[in-house]
Structure 1
Amino acid sequence: MIRKSIVLFFVLFSFFAAIAQQKQYKVHTIAFYNCENLFDTTNDPKINDEEWLPSGSQSWTPEKYQKKLDNLSKVISEIGVGENPNSPTVLGVAEIENRKVLEDLVKQPLLVNKDYGIIHFDSPDKRGIDVGLLYQKKHFKPTSYKNIPLIIYRNAENVKAKKDEEEKTDDKTEADNLGRVYTRDQLLVSGLLDGEEIHFIVNHWPSRSGGEKRSSPFREAAAALNKKIIDSLYQINPNAKIITMGDLNDGPYNKSVKKVLGAQAKKEDVQKQGLFNPMEEMSDRGIGTLAYRDAWDLFDQMIVSEPLIRKDYSNFTFWKAGVFNKGYLMQASGQYKGYPARNWNGVPGYSDHFPVYLYLIKQM
C-alpha cells in the first residue's frame, strides 16, 4: 500500500508539474540605478558642476563622458536578463545632471532600439544631481507625473558636524542662510503598464554627510513624505499598485524605512495597504549595493505596495527582487578589490552602487 501511494504521488506530481510548465507568464523588469555623477562636459552656471568639466578636477572630457555612457548602457541592457531577455521596462535613475545626459544615454547603441521615453525635472540640489525615469514606450504609457519637493531645515546645532563623524561622500547636504537643506525631489509617475495602472516613485534621499545620526532626521522626513505620497494614492484607490524605489541612504533596517515608511520584511506581516520590502531579507544575508570601510550596505531598494503581493496572477504581481552585481561591475584588484567599480581619479567607471531590480509577472 505504501509503495502504491509513493507511485501515485510521483504520477500526480508529474501531472501537476506538466500543467505548471504549460502556463505562460508575461514578465517585466523594473529597476533602479544610481548612475554616480553622470555629468556632461558643459558648464551650467546654475549648479556646482565645475568639478565635472574638462578644466575641472576630474578633467571630465567628452571622451570620458562617452566612456561613462558606454559603461552605463551596458549595465542597463543586462539588468534582469537572467529571467527576462528584455532590459528594464521601467528604470528609475539617480545622480544624473540633467535631461540631456539621459537623452544621450538612451541613444547609446545598446539601448537605442528599446525606444526609452524620459521623465525628468530639475531638482534644487546644489550639485545639480537629479532623479529621473526611463520607460519603454511600447509597454508603459505615462498618464501623469510630477516632482514633489522635500522641504527640510538644518537645526542650528547640526550646522557644524565633527569631521571624524563625516562619512566620505561627494553627495553633500548643503543648506542656505535660513537653514533650508536643498535635496532631491521625489518623482511620482503614474501610468499604464500593458494596460494596467502602476505608480512609480523615484527617490534619492538626503545623504549621510555630517554623520549618520546627525543626518538621520532628514531621511526620516524623506520617508514621511514618501509615506504621504503612498497614502494619497491608496486614498484614491485602495488597491493601488505602487513601487517606490531609490537610493535611500539608509538600509532596510533603519528607522526611516522600517518605522516611518513602515516597510515589512515578510509578506505575512504586511497589513492591507501596507508595504513589502524584499531587500531586507537580502540585507540580512549580507548582500549589499555599496561598500564603505569594508562593510556592505543595501541603500538601493525596491519596495512594493500590498496589492502587488496578492497571489492574483491574472494581474501584474511581484515575483522576486535582486541586486545586479556581475563581476565586471567590481574593482578587480587593489585596496578596494570587490567594491563597485566607480569613477576614480577622473577615470570613468560604472558606479559606486550596484543596480537593483524586481520582476512583475502576469499569467498570459
Structure 2
Amino acid sequence: MTSIGVDIFWWNANNYYHFDVSNSGDRWPKDLADYMEKCRRVDLALNSFFSSKRKPMILAICEITRKAAEDLRQRLFPDYEIISLDVMLSRPSLQIAILFKRDAHIRISEQNPIVVSDMPKSTRPMAVLDVEYGAKCVRMVFCHWQARFEDEAKSSREAMAGFLNKYTYDYLRDSPDRSILIMGDLNEDPFEEALNKLHAHRYRSRAGEKHYTDKDTRRVHLYNCTWRLLGEKAAYSKDVSSIPNATAGTYYWKLKKRWHSFDQIIVSHGLISKKSPHLDEEATHIVDLPEFLPEKLPATFKRERGGYVGLSDHLPIYTNIFF
C-alpha cells in the first residue's frame, strides 16, 4: 500500500495584526504600508520554503488575527480552508490560525478547542484538529502558552501541561487506532518543569513505558523529538554574521541574547512505533532559511531607521506523518 504523507508546518509569526484604522495599539500596524511590508516579508519567507518542498497540507500559525490569516490565505493558499481562534470580531486578538488543504484520502476535521478553566484571562485556547485515514486518527493539538514575562506565567504553563497530559490520556485510552501530536510555542525549553508535567521525554523508550499508577493518575508518557533539535548547527564564532544558519533553537530572546527551543513537537508512542501512522523524524527540522532571518537572527518586524527590519523572533518547525 502506498504511504500518504501529511506534512505540518508551525510558526509563531509574531504580532501579525492586520491593519485597522480603529486600532492604534503599540503592536498594531501604524498604517497600511506597515502591514503590507509585513505581508511581503511573510510571503517571501513562506515561498522560499515552498520552493524546496510542496506547500504543507497543514499550516498552524500563532500570533495572527483572523483577518491577517484570511488575507494570507487569499494571497498564497486560495484552495485551503481556514480555522481561526480569533473569534471576537469586535475585539480582534492574536490567536492560532490553521490553514489546511483537503485530500481525497485524508479526512480533516476541526474539534472543540481545549480551554483550561481557572486560568488568567490572557490564557489562549489550544486548537484541535483530527486527521484520519481509514480507521486511524491522529489528533493534532496546537498550542501557544503564556509568555515568560507575564505574572504567574510559569505556574500557568505547568497547569496547562498537566491538563493536556490528562486530556491526552483520556483521548488515547478509548481506541488503539488513536495517536496524538502536540505542536506549538510552549514558552518552555524541553528540559523545563512544564514539560515534566506533560510527561514529554527525550527518550523514545520512555514514551512506551506504562506504570500501574497511570490509570489512577490519568497519566500517559510522551516523546519530545525537540530534544534532537537542541544545540548549535555550526562552531561558535563571535561574528554571528560569518556563520551560515547560525541557529541554536527556534526563538531568539534579543534582550538576553539567548536562544531557546520553545517551539516543540511532542507525540504519543504510537507515532514512533513501526506501525502506521508514524512520525518521519528524519524530516522534522527547524526552518532556518535566510528569508526567515533577514537580520541573521530571528527578530521582531518593525519600522526602523527610515525602513523596516525583522520578520519574527521565532523560526518555524516542520514535520511529516505517514499513514
Give TM class, smaller chain. Answer: 0.7 to 0.9
Matches within 5 A, 1:189-338: 189-192=129-132, 196-210=136-150, 215-257=153-195, 259-271=196-208, 274-284=221-231, 287-292=248-253, 293-312=256-275, 315-320=276-281, 321-332=284-295, 338=296
Q: 2: distance between equivalents of 1:189 and 1:67?
A: 31
List runs of 5+ in structure 1 lacking aligned partners: 1-22, 154-179, 333-337
| Aligned residue in 2 for 1:339 | 297
- TM-score, normalising length: structure 2: 0.79
8 Å contact from structure 2 (residues 7, 318) kept in 1: yes
Distance 1:194 1:30, change over 3 A: farther
CA-atom RMSD, angstroms?
2.8
Matches within 5 A, 1:1-364: 25-42=3-20, 50-53=25-28, 58-59=29-30, 61-79=31-49, 85-97=53-65, 99-108=66-75, 110-112=76-78, 115-122=79-86, 128-138=93-103, 140-153=106-119, 180-192=120-132, 196-210=136-150, 215-257=153-195, 259-271=196-208, 274-284=221-231, 287-292=248-253, 293-312=256-275, 315-320=276-281, 321-332=284-295, 338-345=296-303, 347=308, 349-362=310-323
| Aligned residue in 1 for 2:212 | none
Shift of 1:341: 3.7
SS of the equivalent of 1:50 reads coil
- TM-score, normalising length: structure 1: 0.71
In the TM superposition, what whole-angstrom CA distance separates every residue of 1:116-157 from its partner, at most 9, and x where no partner exists?
111122368x9821112111123653334112223345xxxx
- Paired residue type of 1:297: H
| Aligned residue in 1 for 2:238 | none
Q: 2: distance between equivalents of 1:236 and 1:49?
A: 48
Name the larger-Rg structure: 1
8 Å contact from structure 1 (residues 246, 302) kept in 2: yes
SS of the equivalent of 2:303 reads coil
List runs of 5+ in structure 2 lacking aligned partners: 210-219, 234-247
Distance 1:77 1:243, change over 3 A: farther
Q: 2: distance between equivalents of 1:194 and 1:238?
A: 13
Q: 2: distance between equivalents of 1:210 and 1:182?
A: 9
SS of the equivalent of 1:34 reads strand
Q: 1: distance between equivalents of 2:164 and 2:116?
A: 10
Shift of 1:291: 1.3
